[in-house]
Structure 1
Amino acid sequence: MITLTLLLVVVTANAQNKKYITDHKILATLLGEHYGIPPSVILAVATVESAGGAGATAKVLNNHFGIVGRNRYVNHRGHKSRYKQYDNEYASYLDFCNMLTRKRFYAKLKNNKDPQAWIKAMSLSGYSESPEEWEQKINSVLHSHKL
C-alpha cells in the first residue's frame, strides 16, 4: 500500500511539474534571451522551488523561486513567512533574473547555454541552504522533463 501511495504521489507531482513547465516555458524563454540565462535553468529552479506551482509560497506569495524577503502575509496563527511576496508570478520571475545579474558568476556565465555551469555556480553562491540536495532536484527536473 505504501509503494502504491508513493507511486501515486510521484506521478501526480510529475504531471503537475509538466503542466507548470508548459505554462511557463514562453516566459522563461523570453527572460532567458533577455538576460542570457538558459530558460531550462529558470524553469527547473522555478519548478523545484514552487513545487510545480502548487507550493504555498507560490500560491500565496507569488514567489516561484524561494527568494527570501519582505511580505504582507500573516497566516491564521499570526506568523509571517520569511519569503518575499510579489504582486504576480511574472514579478517573481523578473526578480529572479535580476537577482542573478547581481551575482559574481553572472558576467562569466551570461549567454552560456550550459545549465550545469549555472546550477553549480548558483549552488556555490549559496542559493540553497542544502546545495547538494538542491542540485539533485534541479538536475532531476532538467533530466525528467528534457529541459
Structure 2
Amino acid sequence: MTSNKMFRRGWFCAMLGILLLTANMAFSQRSATRYVDKYKPTAIRIMNETGIPASVILGVAMLESGMGTSRNAKLLNNHFGIVGRNTLHKKKGVTYRSRYKEFVHAEESFNYFARLLARKKWYPGLKGQTEYKLWLKHMNHGGYSTAGQEWVRRVTGMINRYKLYKLDEHMAYAGS
C-alpha cells in the first residue's frame, strides 16, 4: 500500500471518528435537554417546598439514572439509585433483578429523594441555601454515594455542563 493510500485511509478513519463522536455528543445533549425539560418543574417544586436546590435534585437524578435511560429509571421509576423493594420478580417477561426500590411514577422517586435528605442531621442548616457544592459535600460526607469524591465530581459536572445552577436563582423557599 502506498503512503498516499495509507494517508487517505488514516484521514478517512479520523474523520469518521470525529463524525461519530460529534453525533454522539449531539444525541447526548438532546437527551439531557429532554430530561431537564421533563423534570425541571418537579425539581423546582421540590426546591420551593424543601429548600433543596433544584440543581442538586436534577444533577443527582441525571447522573444516577443515566438521564432516564437506566433500567432502574425505566422499569422502576427510580432516578436516584434508592435501595428497597420492587415487584420485578412478579412481572411477566421481565428477567431483570434489582435491589432498588420501585416507584409508581418517577416524580415519586424525586419526592422520596427529598425526604431522604430532609432526614439528615445537616439538613436544617442547609435548607434554603443555593450553594450546590455545599450540599454535595454534605451528601458525600453523609455517605450518599459509595463513589465518594468521584461522585461529587460527576454530579458537579452535570450541574455545570447543563447550567442547572441557574434554576437555584429562583428559589422561593419560605420554610421555618
Q: TM-score, normalised by structure 1?
A: 0.91
| 1:69 paired residue number | 84
Report the aligned-residue RMSD: 1.8
Q: Which amino acid aligns with 2:41?
A: I
| 1:8 paired residue number | 23
SS in 2 for 1:133: helix
Unaligned runs of 5+ in 2: 1-15, 165-176
Whole-angstrom distance in 2 between the partners of 1:65 and 1:102: 16
Counterpart selection for 2:112 from 95, 104, 114: 95
Task: Answer whether contact 2:88 2:94 (CA < 8 A) is retained.
Answer: no
Structure with more contact order per residue of length (Cα contacts < 8 Å, sep ≥ 6): 2
* 1:119 to partner: Cα distance: 0.8
Residue 39 (structure 2) pairs with residue 20 (structure 1): no
* 1:65 to partner: Cα distance: 0.7
Residue 113 (structure 2) pairs with residue 113 (structure 1): no
* 1:137 to partner: Cα distance: 1.3
* 1:11 to partner: Cα distance: 3.1
The runs of 4+ residues in structure 1 deviating greater than 6 Å are none
Unaligned runs of 5+ in 1: none
Summarize the Cα distance change of 1:36–1:8 in structure 2 as closer, same or farther, 3 Å threshold. same
Counterpart selection for 2:49 from 12, 30, 34: 34
* 1:6 to partner: Cα distance: 4.2
* 1:109 to partner: Cα distance: 0.6
Whole-angstrom distance in 2 between the partners of 1:60 and 1:22: 21
Q: TM-score, normalised by structure 2?
A: 0.77
| 1:83 paired residue number | 100
Whole-angstrom distance in 1 between the partners of 2:141 and 2:75: 29
Percent of aligned positions that are identical: 35
Residue 71 (structure 2) pairs with residue 56 (structure 1): yes
The answer to which of 67-76 and 108-117 deviates more is 67-76
Q: Which amino acid aligns with 1:107?
A: P
Please tell me whether Structure 1 or Structure 2 has the larger radius of gyration of its CA atoms: 2
| 1:140 paired residue number | 157
* 1:55 to partner: Cα distance: 1.1
SS in 1 for 2:63: helix
CA deviations on 1:26-66 (whole Å, 9 max, x unpaired) are: 11101111011011111111111111111111000000111
